Amino acid sequence: DANDESKKSTKNTKTKDPAEAASYLTLWNLDRNSESTTKNWKFNKNTQSWLLRHMYDFDKVSKSTFGTLVDYVCQGGDKTRLRVEEEAKRRARRYKEWEKKQQKEGDAEQDEDDVADETKDDTSSSPDDEEWNQLDDHDKRKEYKRARKVLDSLKEQQ
């Protein structure tokens, strides 16, 4: 039935309110640091997934929420920590490669071979890489700093 189909598609497009995700982490942090035996925080896989998916999105995860999210990840399960660490490494490497390329371009004019290589890279890039290419230099650096914070915090936990 066409009506059922439209209900399904609307249901799947519901977006998480960033304030709801922030309050999830705030509650987690309060319960974690509380002496009280009454706990108000309850694990929510969907909220956790949303936070991890958007942790590098400055518009959806504020700086203060990000700090709490890093603590949350450090206290989380091994699989989650490993996945977040791999993603942070990938993002940090991507920034460093971009930074190196920017310096090289500043030192010398790019030859036609490099342009051909770039075109090849652009066609095989993921949607995440395409989003990243749209960021200005300042936002690329902000993403890198977030990735470094994640990596440094995870390293301290070991």
Q: What is the mean pLDDT of residues 102-116?
A: 65
Which of 125, 146, 126 shows the shortest CA–CA distance to 60? 146
Neighbours of 151 (CB within 10 A): 17
Question: Do residues 51 and 80 make contact, with C-beta atoms less than 8 angstroms apart?
Answer: no
pTM of the model: 0.78
In angstroms, rounded to a whole number, what is the distance separating the alpha carbons of residues 121 and 126?
Answer: 10
Listed in sequence order, the DSSP H helices in the chain are 2-12, 18-33, 45-54, 63-75, 78-107, 112-123, 127-134, 137-157
pLDDT band, residue 15 (cuts 50/70/90)? confident
User: What integer best gives the mean pLDDT of the chain?
Assistant: 85
Which tens digits make up the pLDDT trace of 24-67?
Answer: 999 999 999 888 888 889 999 999 999 999 999 999 999 999 99
Question: Do residues 68 and 26 make contact, with C-beta atoms less than 8 angstroms apart?
Answer: yes
